[in-house]
Structure 1
């Protein structure tokens, strides 16, 4: 780990001596700049972010104390070592206020200076290592939390796994999740011509912007993306106050400004601030999707608590047996597509035709609306699964600009299902995809990766990947990955002399404390206890 040093002194011979007399390379430093005054030093510090600033106090243009103040104001945290012939208390007090580490009095004792710099180097390196560990642990916990929340949104139970990421005091509020859904209305049509890398980059840009915009509003929150053009923010109602409408309005304005060159794309939000458990947020998420599709897109914001149940007017029974709501077909078509169940989709088309055949004149308008939404949903699902070429999707969107009868809408739905059937013969089967996923996990067991990473590798959406994975392996991605890592660790603990820290790192846990925590949750004992249990001596 090479550290960076900035040397500052207005006396050229001292500056040269400082750069040449001390064995900087042996001390672990590279000199990134020599400055003769505070102004030049500040410019170099801002550019290079040095780990150590060795600085004189008395200099022209800008003195050392002013330089230290400016450096701290800019948020630079490198260590500062002062060179001074001034020993008055006021100088020392000002310097201490800005975090100066030590003083070397002139004339300089270079042996003393070298020893001081050597000690500082060790402290800086140790601090960096600790910071890296903390950042890595934070990323691992954040990644695990995101994976669990994605599975929960999709209705795949992950509550047991959630216990792994509570803190040591048992904090974590399992019944305190609130959900905010953001949908980019018009995205599917607008993005037809975008290449896949451009779509991915654009969606990532919006996700990062959401993290930035909600940082001043929320303390404990996660931004998830299950499918393109849609983002879900889940936050803890215990540590956060309810989000004010004024704050959401400002967020909406800034997001809308990002797509001002795309007039047909509008951000819509649906908020549910009532505390929910992990097992409940899937139903909330589905209801929000329904609201944003079925509710007229006149306003940008909807509070789920204010939505009338009249919006979900039931379909007359007797067509499909027991039918609860219009959303039945949307869910069934989505499930049929994702599971590759062409027979189920064919049956759904027959049911739809039977429903339309029984319509009276007063119900035709409602049927047209339902079929229109079904088509939009099918297009989005087939886009996520990469089952519909861009030109074919464009052709369907062009048809939807026309005034279509119920018969024509049914015909379009049937044609989409037929194209889906054709795509199945050329698309990778779920078994092949899951074999690739299994191989990816084994090859990257020691790396930090999540659902988005492996979904991108397979070329499918997060939601499609989660569904295929749970159906194929009988457990969620989080459960499977944890089991693979811990089982591998158990084998290594029994048959290897590597340290527990090394073994943890090789199976994806870079911080020993976190590895021990997960291992103990999974096996009921610490790695040390497990190793002793299987040792020859025991």
Structure 2
């Protein structure tokens, strides 16, 4: 309800205005009155009206002086002058003081109603603008972690398409990069029979669990690091060895961390990893080189760093330098995945053509390598499409696609095949979701992973992403394949399983850690999810 204050030294005018204003029709209420500018100023400060109707000629302090003081105090309400004098100089001063209207006494009720109606409409419009501005600010704050997350991914993969690479390009939390050294540890979940048989939704939970384990073991050895998921089953751990560490010792520390990661993930999740260690770089702009070296070491099994471990380092050149091969598949994979998620068919074709031109005529572009690339890309496309609610296998059955890979003879044929598939995907009727929905679900997933121990409801998240609860439930199910509650439960159970296997907590402590105060209920859910009682894991 809008609040209106009236200031006039004539009591009859005050009473007449209170009777003349159509309060209910304007959805307004009386806020206060005064008979001079000084008292009016105090009343306005206390009542904070939306609209002030004031005379000019008044004792103690006139109306214009009062208005000037209000504007100096940043009063944002609308002011209407109602005066018995039509003086040009007064009107000019009123204009300078941003007065909504200047009326002469006596005033008719229809005119008064129109003037107040216009002032209220202006206030409503201003309020809506400020509300949208505040909403935008809230959205920016909500999505800030995702902006930084994407920046890290771009720094690791080298996909700084439109980002400023000059001057103060590093976000504030990562300014320390300028004085640090950098190395990338590439991590790939081996697609064996166990991993190949799970749904993409379950595999996403595996990736979440791998991230938790990797970050936990890394923070015990390196003060500063970043972890980012790349494409498919690939992720990258960016660590920053102390600049004064001797290079040989730093490389030994990285190799030791790689073997610990393989052991920890294998023990807790029964997942097999391949890990590659990229070279140590002095400039943050060289981080993509370390990434390419790490994954090239995995692809080519170049230099095994520990017996019995799928842990590899990039081979040195004759000059003793770790060189990046001119063909950069990690960057290509990341750029292609990004283009496909936003259905940019033309851009995706250009990315393929550019990469094929790099491949053309090279020794590496033999049929075996092209088939390996096709398999990697198909997995990446499956993940990318799943992220926006598509099932790639429903468009192109994988068994039929694998037969097509056997026909590759050169890079040009490979590129033609891939572009044909890209066009088919982008023009498929199954294409669902949009960028805004994807952002909302990304936020929800990250929020669940960061706050699973708290009482999280879909209604709370709906308020945070500014989408209705029912529609958000539909979007989440459409994109992830799981209902909100199912996904939350699965994340909690996966974390509970990890905590129980550490044998450091009792069952009730684990239950509380993952958001359950009712231990029997937690035990029932855990058995339903994992097929065993939580006490079985504690005793094992």
| Shared fold, TM over 0.5 | no
TM range, normalised to the smaller chain?
Answer: 0.3 to 0.5
TM-score under structure 1 length normalisation: 0.41
TM-score under structure 2 length normalisation: 0.41
Q: Per chain length, whose mean CA-contact separation is higher, i.e. which structure has more relative contact order (CA < 8 Å, sep 6+)? A: 1
The structure having more radius of gyration, on CA atoms, is 2
